[in-house]
Structure formats: C-alpha cells, structure tokens
Structure 1
Amino acid sequence: MTAILAADRAVGTPRVPVARGFRFELVKLVSQWRIRLLVLACWIAPALFVAAVSQQGSLPVDTLFGRWMHATGWAGPLVTLGFAGTWALPLLTSVVAGDMFASEDRLGTWRHLLVAVRSPRRIFVAKALASLTVILLLVVGLACSSAAGGLLAVGNQPLVGLDGHLLTPGDAAGKVLLAWVCVLAPTLALAAVGLLGSVALGRSPMGLLLPALVALSMQLAQMLPLPVAVRVALPGYAFIAWNGLFTSPAQLGPLLIGVVVSLVWAATATALAYLLFLRRDFTNLADDGSGGRAVTAGVLPLVGILAATVGVVAEATPATGSGIQQDKVQRSVATAFAHLYRMQTAQLHRPDVTEAQLKATATCNKGGGKLAAEGPGNDWRCVVSWHLPDVEAAGSAIYQLDVTPDGRFVADGDGPKEVNGYFLVRTPTGDAPNPLWQFDGNVELLHSTKG
C-alpha cells in the first residue's frame, strides 16, 4: 500500500480534496440506519416529551427547573439539557465518533479508501469533520425540539432563576441558548475521546464504548467528596456548570474553567488520534490499530492533562475543600428566599417590598449543629429571617436542605404553614403553586469565603 501511494505521488496523481472526502464520509454516516434513527429521535422525541410532561399533574421536581415546566416553556429545554448531559450526549458521541474509524477495520476497506483518497491526513480530517457535523446536528435537534415543545405547550413566559430572580422571556431564551452552546465543549471532548478510541483500539468494542465510559467515570467522580479543584478540572463539569448562568450575578467561574478544560481535552485527544492514525502500518492487514500504544500514546497524555489542570485550578482559585461552606449556603438561601418572597407577595396581591427592605438573612447548621457546617449532605437546616416595612416583629421560616457535591441544593419548607407549609397558595384568581414551599438554589463553589 505504501508503494502504491508513493507511485501516485511520483506521477503527480492529484489527491482527493478534503471537501470531497468530507462529503463522502458524511454520506456514509447518514446512510446508516442507526444514524438516521438518532437524527429523527433528536429532532422529534424531545418536543413530544416536554409537551407531554408539561401537561401532566406531577412534574419532575427532582430535576433542575423541572418544577417550573407548568409555568414557562423555557424550563423544558433546560430539563432536556440536564438529561442530555448525563446520558444522551455521551451515548451519541459513542455511536458516531467511537465507530468512525473502527468501522473500516471491521469491513476491511482501508486499502480501497487509501487508493481512492491517496492521503491518510485527508482521510482523518474528512472523518473527523463528518463526525463533528453529525454530532452538531444531533445537539441542535435536541435543543430546538425541546424548546419548540415547551413553547407550544406552555408559552413564552418568564423563567425563575436558581437564586429566585425572575428572568424575562427574552433573557431566558438567551441564557437557554448559551447553556446549550456551552455544553458543546464537553461534547467535543467526548467526541475526540471517541475518535482516539476508534483509532487506537480498532475492531475492539471498547473503542465504541470509550466516550460513554469516560462520561460515566466523570459522573461517578462528581458524586464523590472530591476537592472542588479536582471536580471543576474534570472535562465533564461543563455539563452541569451551566447552572451558574441562571443566577444574578452569573456564576461564570466554574463554567469558564469547565469549557476551557473541555476544549483542551478535545484538542489533545484529537491530536493524539491524528498521530496514531498517521503512524499506522496499513500494509499489514493484521494491524487494526490496537495494542499497547493505546495506553502509552492515548491514556497517559490525558492523565497528564488532568493532573496539570487540577494543579492550575487549585493554584488559581481561592476555594478549598468541597467549596461548600456555611456562609455560602446562608447567603444563597437568603438571596433565593428574598426573590421568591416577592413573587409570593405579588401572587397574593400584597404591598410590594424590595429585597433591601426585607433584609433577609439565613442561619444554617449541619447535623443539628453537631457536625461542621460544610460539605454536601441532606442534613442541612436553615432558619430564614426577614423584616417587613412598618412591622416590628421579624418573620422566620425553616427549611431542610439537601446539598449535592456540585453545589446545587433543594430547600424544602418546614413551616410556618402560612409561608412555606403548603404546595399551593390561595390567590384572588385561584390556587397557584407556592414558590416558597420548595425551591432550588446553587452555591458558588469557587466564590471566595471572604465575600
């Protein structure tokens, strides 16, 4: 095969342009029934799911923004984004990128492809671009379909952010779009890992499963009590760091770090796959690309990248430990309560108050005060106090908190019943969901403890 390529170069035979190779690889991809089925599912299934759930009596309140699917159509694409980052996108990258090169090994078509294109470099570029195009098509389908389903079923209404403040429909649309754009970075990282596995492992099914396994490993790591520097430095953290877009001010630090780390992983894994592909001996029909070099040239560099990013993040950020401290939790709970209290006031047609007038504060402890007030857990308890104009006595409400390692918490009202004791509140126009009964929030892990 090397002799054929050398002879072609000697006589000046023109090589196939990258554009033609890209179109050829793209047609090969979309001609596969499983790819067509995935494209169809991504462009139709999310809209049906969001529209159906939005019309149900019970909502997925354990999912971020799930409790607002009755109130606004912009909650649907965010619920879909949470599911996609956990399951859909890792599986999609496995099916598309993880099989991009391995399929040629299974079919034994490398010789024909090399004779036709006459350039391994152009073959790699064409295949990488074709897989990227299909993955982008799938992601755009998930975003557009879920947004269309939510808007048609519920409407273009304001969205409640993670700190309780109300986003206008236009602001909500922009942040939803930006959140989907941000998760493209970790998706590209998984796709690059898929290309690397497909090149390095050849016919082995591990190449196809590698992106999904890497994503699952990162999800398991996020459940462990890891230091915040390690957690943020994982390339999959951008799948959940978009939450910070929906606070005011936006918590951009973890998101920007996650996006940069993901892009570094994407560039590194793609470069490794490219070098391994160029070094492959296509004249040896028994060589399918697998072997010990998959570890030395594939795994070890990525481990080195992870160690380097952890060191840089640990040195550059002020947060230590889990990043979840008492003052951060108290500040987040008080801020969200103040915003949502104003929303409840508007529902009940009471005189409007501002956050400055309320002067809401929270006093939180963990384990009934027997444990250090830091770190994740479902044993956080907060007492929120606030003041109303011309009212001498201060109001108070109790919340039980379940704080996850990534900083997200669910505050469950525990009295008094007039404030947060019931799911619904009776308004002059009928019963409406009580925003203070249970609400989501987010602790900024990298925010300095000095405030």
Structure 2
Amino acid sequence: MTATVADGNVATARPVSVARGYRFEMFKLVAQWRIRLLVLACWLTPGLFVAAVGGQSTLPVDTLFGRWMHATGWAGPLVTLGFAGTWALPLLTSVVAGDVFASEDRLGTWRHLLVVVRSPARIFAAKALASLTVLLLLVAGLACSSAAGGLLAVGNQPLVGLDGHLLAPGDAAAKVLLAWLCALAPTLALAAIGLLGSVTLGRSPMGLLVPAVVALAMQLAQMLPLPAGVRLALPGYAFIAWNGLFTSPVQLGPLLIGVAVSLVWAVVATAAAYVLFVRRDFTGAGYDGSGRRAVVAGVLPLAGLVAVTVAVVAATTGATGSGIEQAKVQRSLATAFAHLYRMQTEQLHRPHVTEAQIGATATCDKGSIRVAAEGAGNDWRCVVSWHLPGVEAAGTAVYQLDVTPDGRFMADGDGPKEVNGYFLVRTPSGDAPNPLWQFDGNVELLRASKE
C-alpha cells in the first residue's frame, strides 16, 4: 500500500514552472550583497560624477562629448556611455552572468535544485532571465542617473553633434535614449558569453573573467589597423557605432551592422550554453569544467562565428580597407567647421550666414604629400577654406587631426588666433569657449568616398 502511494506521488509530480524558478533566482541574486552594492552604485555614482564635473572648471576633453559637459546636460550620459562600454558593462556582465551557474557548483547545490525543479531546461531559462533582469536594472541605473545628474547640474540645453550641428533638447534626449538602447545589444552578447563561461568552466573562477577578457580583446582589436569589415563584424563595435546617431544625416549603416552582429553573438553563445547545460552530468560531487568541452562547445563556435560575420559583412558592404580616406576626412572636417563657424558667428553677434554661403572646403594630407592620405593616425594636417558674402578674400584655418581607427577624429586648431588658435573668444558679454578651437568629428567607414 505504501509503495502504491509513493508511486502515485512520483507520477503526479510536475516540474516547477519557469516563472516560479525565475522568482527564486531573482531572490537569490538580489540577496547577494555585491549585487545590491552594484545596483546602488549604478543608480547613484554616474549622477554624482556628472554633476561634479559640471561644477568644475576642467572637462574630460579627451572623451567623446566631454568638452560639452558645461554646455548641456545631455553630454553627461554620453560620456558615461563611452566609459560604460569600455569598462563598466563588461565588468557587470562578468559579476552577474559569469557567476550565475558557477555559484551552484561552488556551493554544491545542483542536486537539491534539480530535485525541486526537475527540469534542467527550466533551470537554465530561469537563471538566464534572472541575470538578464539584473543587468537591465544596472544599465537603466547608469543611463537614468547620468542623465539626471547632467540635467540638474547644467540644464536641458541643445547638444552639439559630431558634425557640428545643433540638436534641440528633445532631439538630443531621444538620441541619447536610443544610444543607450543600442548599447544593450553588445551587453547581451557579453552576458551570453558569461553564461557560456559559467556553464563550461564550472566552479573554476575563470568563468567570471570570460566576459571581461573577451571585451578587452575586442577593445584591443578596435585599436589595431584592421579592415573596416573585420572591425564591424566584432560585437564590441556596437559600443562605438552609436556615435553615428549624432551626425546629420544619421550614420545608420555601421550601427545596424554592429547591433545585428551583437544579437547573433548573443543567440549563438546562449544556445551553446544551453546545450552544454542540459547535457551535463550532475552526479559528480564537484565540477571544474572540461578543457575539451570548453574548446569544442565554446571557443570553436565563436571563432567560426567571427569568420562567418567577417565574410558576410565584407561581402555585403564591400568594406575591405580601413574606410578612412582623404575625401571622407576632408568632407567631414569641412561640414563640422561650417556648422561650428555659424555658432561662433552667433557668439560674436556678426551678420547671419548659412553653411551654403560659407562654402567651406578642406584640403588634407597625412604626414607628407608623398604618403598616401588614408588610415588612422595623429599626423593628419588640414587647411580649411571658406568665403563670406561680400568679402573677396577667402578665409583659411589650419587644423591638426588625430584620427582613430574607428573613424573618430579630434581637430586641434592651429591658427589664425582670431579663428581657431585660442580656446576663448571675446564676445560682447565676455569671454566664451571657442567652438572652432578643438572639436570632435566622425568619418563613416562604410560611406562611399567622393573625390
């Protein structure tokens, strides 16, 4: 009789639903002091930093949009996004996704969890969704906190784009939000790599380092003189491609490619982690991972994915070289100069002119006229020329350009003093920052060159 009842109980037992497992995994994550500390830091630190910088006399001009943090509150969240894509988000994914499975191995609780849930697939889904929720909460904190700090410290003012045109506060807010949303794609890719490392390496602490190491490798790759097709085929490029949102017209090509590549990486890495997890043997007392499994199910699929994405991007876009060409640099510099010249004209209360009336053009060479003017480097030298209505002589200004491999450049004015040779201009209301002294620009790597 007892055996009959026991058999009936076993027969009617059902696996725990994903929703209940998700709530349980969320409780375990939030109960950890380090997760609570990260949430608190992400929701407070960026706002305090942006507000503090807004009240200082010096600015982080070496960062994108850093030179405009005194002019508008919308520059702060973009500076934070640049830092987050380089350092914060890879570390956050390591702490959250890189440890969500390995913690069970260290504590030896897999058998207890399997007895309760009765489904490895549902355990995987619950843990993946819980880690994703925590990551979204952390990213939202970074974005909201930095935006609030900038708006409270500086105000809701127009933002200067990467080609010198002014974005109205509403337009700036929408593009800042879109930039942060686009950064979620590479964050998901790193989180999926973290899940794969956590599943593959077991209780080994190396699983925690996988997302950070992969992110560092991609950052180093972006610093190398790689062809544009290879650069765009890496998921880390989506942390950079949002720059194209702040030009007119918007440079959507590299951004869409970067987001698509990141989402493909997220799907492939998650699928590999799922297959490894549901096929794992949980009968052992300790699991330290398998080198063969890590190579076959982890490294090889991602290496193959790199080869496939590089081939697809190169074939569909035709991007084979660096994408940084003389005609592109000259066009981008002349466009930014024309927009910023109008801004300087308004500062000095001079007669209104349009970009078409100015007719700015640029002539650039790299290092020497004997060297091909293409590729990244800090040896670009350019001369910008323009005409004003009613003035017969043309104006000229000299710039030294530092062009990075991803297409971003910083133009440093080299005279004449009254145009771009000094960091301040004397206006009727007092000295003001000279917009033509130093400014950032962006060269679209995929755009066709027009000689």
Distance 2:10 2:288 in 1: 28
Letter in 1 for 2:245: L
How far did residue 450 of structure 1 move?
4.0
- In structure 1, what is the equivalent of residue 333 of structure 2? 333
- In structure 2, what is the equivalent of residue 132 of structure 1? 132
Distance 2:14 2:444 in 1: 56
Letter in 1 for 2:32: Q
- In structure 2, what is the equivalent of residue 64 of structure 1? 64
CA contact 1:383–1:397 (8 Å) conserved in 2: yes
- In structure 2, what is the equivalent of residue 280 of structure 1? 280
- In structure 1, what is the equivalent of residue 4 of structure 2? none
- In structure 2, what is the equivalent of residue 3 of structure 1? none
1:356-435 superposed matches below 5 A:
356-435=356-435
How far did residue 405 of structure 1 move?
0.3
Letter in 2 for 1:90: P
What is the DSSP-based 3-state SS (H/G/I as helix, E as strand, rest coil) of the residue aligned with 2:371? coil
1:26-37 superposed matches below 5 A:
26-37=26-37
- In structure 2, what is the equivalent of residue 4 of structure 1? none
1:132-281 superposed matches below 5 A:
132-281=132-281
Distance 1:319 1:301 in 2: 24
What is the DSSP-based 3-state SS (H/G/I as helix, E as strand, rest coil) of the residue aligned with 2:104? helix
CA contact 2:204–2:289 (8 Å) conserved in 1: no
What is the DSSP-based 3-state SS (H/G/I as helix, E as strand, rest coil) of the residue aligned with 2:34? helix
Alpha-carbon deviations, 1:141-167, whole Å to 9, x = none?
000000000000000000000000000
Letter in 1 for 2:383: V
Distance 1:73 1:12 in 2: 60
- In structure 1, what is the equivalent of residue 304 of structure 2? 304
Alpha-carbon deviations, 1:403-436, whole Å to 9, x = none?
0000000000000001001101111111110000
- In structure 2, what is the equivalent of residue 122 of structure 1? 122
Alpha-carbon deviations, 1:339-389, whole Å to 9, x = none?
000000000000111111111000000003232100000000000000000
Which segments of 5 or more consecutive residues in structure 2 lack a partner in the other structure? 1-6
Alpha-carbon deviations, 1:11-68, whole Å to 9, x = none?
1202211111000000100100000000000000000000001111110000000000
- In structure 2, what is the equivalent of residue 94 of structure 1? 94
Q: Percent identity?
A: 82
Distance 1:366 1:291 in 2: 48
Distance 2:436 2:237 in 1: 29
How far did residue 206 of structure 1 move?
1.3
What is the DSSP-based 3-state SS (H/G/I as helix, E as strand, rest coil) of the residue aligned with 1:363? strand
What is the DSSP-based 3-state SS (H/G/I as helix, E as strand, rest coil) of the residue aligned with 1:282? coil
- In structure 2, what is the equivalent of residue 441 of structure 1? 441
How high is the TM-score relative to the length of structure 2?
0.97
Distance 1:9 1:26 in 2: 29
1:69-80 superposed matches below 5 A:
69-80=69-80
Distance 1:52 1:370 in 2: 47
Alpha-carbon deviations, 1:69-108, whole Å to 9, x = none?
0000000000000000000000000000000000000000
CA contact 2:164–2:339 (8 Å) conserved in 1: yes
CA contact 2:74–2:172 (8 Å) conserved in 1: yes
How far did residue 9 of structure 1 move?
9.5
CA contact 1:46–1:146 (8 Å) conserved in 2: yes
What is the DSSP-based 3-state SS (H/G/I as helix, E as strand, rest coil) of the residue aligned with 1:350? coil
How many pairs does the alignment contain?
445
What is the DSSP-based 3-state SS (H/G/I as helix, E as strand, rest coil) of the residue aligned with 1:418? coil
Letter in 1 for 2:94: S
Distance 1:372 1:344 in 2: 33
What is the DSSP-based 3-state SS (H/G/I as helix, E as strand, rest coil) of the residue aligned with 2:419? helix
Alpha-carbon deviations, 1:245-286, whole Å to 9, x = none?
000001111110000000000000000000000000112224
How far did residue 205 of structure 1 move?
1.3
- In structure 1, what is the equivalent of residue 319 of structure 2? 319
Structure 1 residue 112 and structure 2 residue 112: aligned? yes
CA contact 1:98–1:195 (8 Å) conserved in 2: yes
CA contact 2:105–2:286 (8 Å) conserved in 1: no
What is the DSSP-based 3-state SS (H/G/I as helix, E as strand, rest coil) of the residue aligned with 1:415? coil
Q: Kindly report the root-mean-square deviation, in angstroms, between the aligned alpha carbons of the 2 structures.
A: 1.1
How far did residue 204 of structure 1 move?
1.3
The answer to which of 278-287 and 43-52 deviates more is: 278-287
The answer to which of 277-286 and 189-198 deviates more is: 277-286
How high is the TM-score relative to the length of structure 1?
0.97
CA contact 2:108–2:286 (8 Å) conserved in 1: no
Letter in 1 for 2:161: G
CA contact 1:280–1:289 (8 Å) conserved in 2: no
Letter in 1 for 2:344: Q
Alpha-carbon deviations, 1:108-133, whole Å to 9, x = none?
00011001111111100000000000
How far did residue 290 of structure 1 move?
3.0
